[in-house]
A and B are shown apart, each in its own frame.
Chain A
Amino acid sequence: MSVTAYNFAYLDEQTKRMIRRAILKAIAIPGYQVPFASREMPMPYGWGTGGVQVTASILGPDDVLKVIDQGSDDTTNAVSIRKFFAKTAGVRTTTQTAEATVIQTRHRIPEKPLHEGQVLVFQVPIPEPLRFLEPRETETRRMHALAEYGLMHVKLYEDIARHGHIATTYAYPVKVDGRYVTDPSPTPKFDNPKMNDCAALQLFGAGREKRIYAIPPYTQVVSLDFEDHPFAPYRHDATCALCGSRESFLDEVITDDRGGRMFLCSDTDYCEARRQGASAPPAHSQELKRE
């Protein structure tokens, strides 16, 4: 790709203005999915084209960009997107959550609380929380317009009736600002509480489905639940084998073919910061072996 042939951050300014208008509308109506004329990007649909378009539209030369996938800066897709912006926009990139002004993410919210002035950009595959209950866009838009969310509550109730739990572990639906039921993107429900009253602006881009939505800073975000079955985040009841964290979301790593496994922080920056900081690594390995 010849970089000079393309505008700052790849997209032309007309397109950026169009996307910024959609973002402004999304911020004005928290949780509402704003249709936008999503462009064909040089990476495939389903690989973050929505997030990339949002990031490209809000990025300025002074921004510091962090890109994570599965919480990690080092997964292949995160590397690819970070390189894309380093190449097309020449912005400074970082892996440190606190230092970044724009964080593009797939499937996680960083463990370290975000601060004012930061923007968290989510890559969203299916923006419609009602999609798997009702496949038709014409129908789901009407349901949102009428705030007709009974179907979702029935689904959650049926989960409890059948399994004793709400059997949704990621992309767990939330209600934003008391109005729109919204898909948090496929983040594990462990991350849902971080969305509530968050100091940072949260933007969601769905490229293939051509939708942008937003959660402005300090907005109420409630995970759907019932009084007698309150929402409960899930994490493995284990500690990180590298930094010893008992609070972070953990990835399970299989270590052999005899049932050996260990747990590591999904958020690599959080984990590294803890290891470099005060807390020493645990004295013993956390590997769990089958007896």
Chain B
Amino acid sequence: MYVAVKGGERAIENAHALLGHARRGDPEVPEILLAQISEQLALAVDRVMSEGSLYDRELAALAIKQARGDLIEAIFLLRAFRTTAPRFGASEPIDTAAMDIVRRISATFKDLPGGQVLGPTFDYTHRLLDHDLMAGREVAAPSRAPADAAVMPRVTDLLAVDDLIERSVAATPDVPVGDLTREPLALPAERDLRLQNLARADEGFLLALGYSTQRGYGRTHPFAGEIRFGDVEVEFFAEELGFAVPLGRIEVTECQMVNQFTGTANEPPRFTRGYGLTFGQGERKAIAMALVDRALRARELGEDVKAPAQDEEFVLMHSDNVQATGFVEHLKLPHYVDFQAELGLVRRLREEFVARLPNPSARAGEGEGRGAGAEAAE
């Protein structure tokens, strides 16, 4: 007699052992080192740190290695580690105006204080496969120049001088910063929580939503006021000492989007802002995030909420790839019980359907066809 197949612990253990084997690949090929991932797949590490909400290059590299290069799986691993880490508090706001710049470009001004600094970028490269890389080769040393000591003010701050752009929201250091990993997200959400959600959001999801605003689904007339990448100091206010102490430096990418706004009865015409920030070098994500942030401000700015990217609940509830991948992939889990219940209903409905048919021959044909099993089962 056939006996129902059971999962069993042995099968699971064997599957996981096989996974470890598959992860390692051909043992003739040297095992990849975390430092190689961190140094040579740096942008993957940056993405995993950003969406994993944890700035730790080594752990992110470990996650990528363990996940066999599946970045969402790596993000998941990092998140599941982060969630158990104790919270000591929130850092002081980082000052991106004081960033040590590696790259800084503006699409709104040809030249500006501090100049345009291209830095390491794929922009303007010809996307031709470089067959020299196959074998590996020495790379030429880059040109170097001493860092510009001049301050590099943010473009949005320059515009703010003439009141051409809305003011940044005044800092409220005494108000606690929202944290959706510690408190369930309530809707409508304030901008701090929206930005936290977007910072953790899947790059592909934000890319598609940001793109949709450019194609007319919640158009925001954006200009990339500035994109900057470099490292900033993180400080933590220590209660015992009474002053902020530096914790270290992190690399971030910031995008300040400048959006046209023709004003309303109460608001003068001026530019509005969209904001994007990622760990490491993550320009695509930062730009997309800034587009979506601005689109989500529709309600606040009195714009019609018509497009998906403007719909706070739609965006915030579906942006997290760890949540999304879990629920989508849970369809792999057994659903025998529910399916049995559905099967019973469909069979009953089909029987009733067949019984209602006016043509008896059609009814007989149906009865001998696929419906026979149903009769037996009922």
Contacts and interface: CB of A to CB of B under 8 A. Distances in A.
Contact of B84 (A12, A72, A253): A12
Interface residues of A, number: 74
Contact of A47 (B182, B330, B372, B378): B330
A76 interface: yes
A290 B376 contact: yes
Given A12-B84, A77-B333, A261-B373, A37 B181 contact: yes
A35 B9 contact: no
A262 interface: yes
Interface in B1-36: 1-2, 4, 6-9, 11-12
B184 interface: yes
Contact of B6 (A72, A186, A287, A290): A72
Contact of B2 (A12, A47, A253, A288): A253
B327 A169 contact: no
Interface in A94-110: 106-108
Given A6-B84, A164-B352, A250-B340, A80 B12 contact: yes
Contact of A236 (B82, B317, B340): B340
Given A45-B322, A80-B12, A163-B349, A252 B337 contact: no
Could you tell me the dominant secondary structure of chain A's interface residues?
loop
B112 interface: no
Contacts, number: 169
Interface size bucket, B side?
A: 35 or more
B376 A138 contact: no
B337 A288 contact: no
Interface string A248-291: 01111101000101101010000000000000000001011011
Interface of A: 6-7, 10-12, 35-42, 44-47, 49, 69-72, 74-80, 83, 106-108, 125, 136-138, 163-165, 167, 169-171, 186-190, 208, 210-211, 234-238, 241, 249-253, 255, 259, 261-262, 264, 266, 285, 287-288, 290-291
27 contacts: A11-B84, A35-B184, A40-B83, A41-B83, A45-B326, A46-B329, A46-B330, A47-B326, A47-B333, A70-B337, A72-B6, A137-B317, A163-B349, A165-B348, A167-B349, A169-B342, A186-B337, A188-B337, A188-B338, A188-B340, A189-B341, A249-B337, A255-B2, A266-B337, A266-B340, A290-B373, A291-B372
